[in-house]
Structure 1
Amino acid sequence: MLKRLYLLLIAVFILSAAKAQTADDVYNKYLDFNLARLQGETSKAMDLGQEIAPNSDKLTDKARISFYYSIGKLYEDDSQTGKALSYYEKVAAAVPDYYVVQRALGYIYAKQAEAIADKLNAAKSDPAENKRLTALYTEAVKKALPHLEKAQACDPTDETLARIKVLYKNIGDTKAASTLKARLAAMAKNCIDLLSDQ
């Protein structure tokens, strides 16, 4: 019995050591992930990304942030916005001036607000449900606006500006809408358009 237990412990140790990835292993997978992504091998890149994700803490800080953005983009392009959102949020927290991820977050949250607006329009005859959905809509809009504003400040587009104005109008925030130009000018001073993994 003791011999079997000893053999079992050795087997468990060997298996866990074999599964544990070194920093070099993770980085090599990260390089393969980037290559697959750049070559348009989306399925392979997603598989590698899923292998890297639990061990992403073994990447350097910059490589980890670049990985988070890249895997988030793959998920977004695959219509898995829930998964994309969690990675994008990590990038935005680490590099708040990276406006590319801010735009992605802004549009994801704006899309969520639009889905709530559709339900809101259908619930006009139910005052309690209408009130609940209005609160959810306002919350989603308030999540979207800071991200959209940062993107607009750094890379202005008519589409994003129009969306920002409509969202402020929809929640009735005329005060914030009136100070938009000044906020955009202040935010435009700190913009990052490329992430480096070095």
Structure 2
Amino acid sequence: MLKKTLLILLVIFTAKISQAQTADEVYDKYTDFNLAMLQNEHDKALDLGQQILPDTAKLNSKVRLSFYNGLAKLYEDDSQSVKAIEYYNRVASAQPDYYVAHRALGYLYIKDISGKPANEIVIDAAYINKAKKALPHLEKAQACDPDDDTLNLIKTLYRNIKDDKDLGSLPERLNQLKKNCIDILDTQ
């Protein structure tokens, strides 16, 4: 009985080892993932991303962060906002000064409320919640890469949620936020 148990455990262990990707294999897939993204092979890049996800711990932390950012962008382009938000949040949490992820998050949070004519916007609890989630991200993006459209959106959101206090202190916050801005993720 003990021999059978050991044999079964050995077979299971061997099967698991043969299925697991080595760190080099995961990194090779990551380079293929980047190449597919650069060549606008969206479906191939998404497929490679799905293959890499279970083994992201085998990538160093900076490469993993870059991978999450690329995957988030793919999901965003594929209109999978929930997944894009998940991975952009990982990037923004790990690298809070990387404003590109913040810009994406800000616009994704308000995706279904921005661009509507003013007479079609309903200021309800859901709108206020989305605006409050979006605003810190939009502010970081605006501080690091000023843009009239983003600034107007920020001001409109504050006016719509009737937050005059934060609207009034916006210039001070933007000035503070612009001190540490990163526009490219380091993978080394």
TM above 0.5, yes or no, is yes
Structure (1 or 2) with the greater helix fraction: 1
**What residue is the counterpart of 2:160 in the other structure?**
170
C-alpha distance in structure 1 between counterparts of 2:119 and 2:50, whole Å = 34
Give the superposition deviation at 1:56: 0.6
**What residue is the counterpart of 1:125 in the other structure?**
none
CA distance change for structure 1 residues 166 and 196 in 2, over 3 Å: closer, same or farther?
Answer: same
Decide whether the 8 Å contact of 1:112 with 1:140 is kept in 2. Answer: no
CA distance change for structure 1 residues 3 and 79 in 2, over 3 Å: closer, same or farther?
Answer: same
Give the superposition deviation at 1:5: 5.7
C-alpha distance in structure 1 between counterparts of 2:112 and 2:106, whole Å = 10
SS at match of 2:124: helix
**What residue is the counterpart of 1:40 in the other structure?**
40
C-alpha distance in structure 2 between counterparts of 1:80 and 1:195, whole Å = 23
Q: Percent identity?
A: 56
**What residue is the counterpart of 1:18 in the other structure?**
18
C-alpha distance in structure 2 between counterparts of 1:113 and 1:89, whole Å = 20
Give the superposition deviation at 1:100: 0.5
**What residue is the counterpart of 1:100 in the other structure?**
100
Task: Write the letter of the residue equivalent to 2:24.
Answer: D
- Per-residue CA deviations over 1:34-69 (Å, capped at 9, x if unaligned) read 111111111111111001111111111100100000
CA distance change for structure 1 residues 58 and 48 in 2, over 3 Å: closer, same or farther?
Answer: same
C-alpha distance in structure 2 between counterparts of 1:174 and 1:112, whole Å = 24
Task: Write the letter of the residue equivalent to 2:104.
Answer: A
Coordinate RMSD, CA, aligned: 2.3
C-alpha distance in structure 2 between counterparts of 1:195 and 1:180, whole Å = 27
Task: Write the letter of the residue equivalent to 1:38.
Answer: L
C-alpha distance in structure 1 between counterparts of 2:133 and 2:67, whole Å = 24
1:191 aligns with 2:174: no
Give the superposition deviation at 1:11: 3.2
C-alpha distance in structure 2 between counterparts of 1:64 and 1:120, whole Å = 39
CA distance change for structure 1 residues 120 and 188 in 2, over 3 Å: closer, same or farther?
Answer: closer
C-alpha distance in structure 1 between counterparts of 2:29 and 2:67, whole Å = 11
Consecutive unaligned residues of structure 2, counting only runs of 5 or more, are none
Moved more, 55-64 or 135-144: 135-144
Task: Write the letter of the residue equivalent to 1:47.
Answer: D
Moved more, 162-171 or 25-34: 25-34
Consecutive unaligned residues of structure 1, counting only runs of 5 or more, are 122-132
Of 110, 128, 131, which aligns to 1:138?
128
Task: Write the letter of the residue equivalent to 1:66.
Answer: S
- Per-residue CA deviations over 1:70-94 (Å, capped at 9, x if unaligned) read 0000010011111111100000000
C-alpha distance in structure 2 between counterparts of 1:75 and 1:118, whole Å = 31
- Normalising by structure 1, report the TM-score: 0.86
C-alpha distance in structure 1 between counterparts of 2:61 and 2:146, whole Å = 29
Task: Write the letter of the residue equivalent to 2:73.
Answer: K
- Normalising by structure 2, report the TM-score: 0.90
Decide whether the 8 Å contact of 2:68 with 2:87 is kept in 1. Answer: yes
Give the superposition deviation at 1:120: 7.2
C-alpha distance in structure 2 between counterparts of 1:112 and 1:12, whole Å = 48
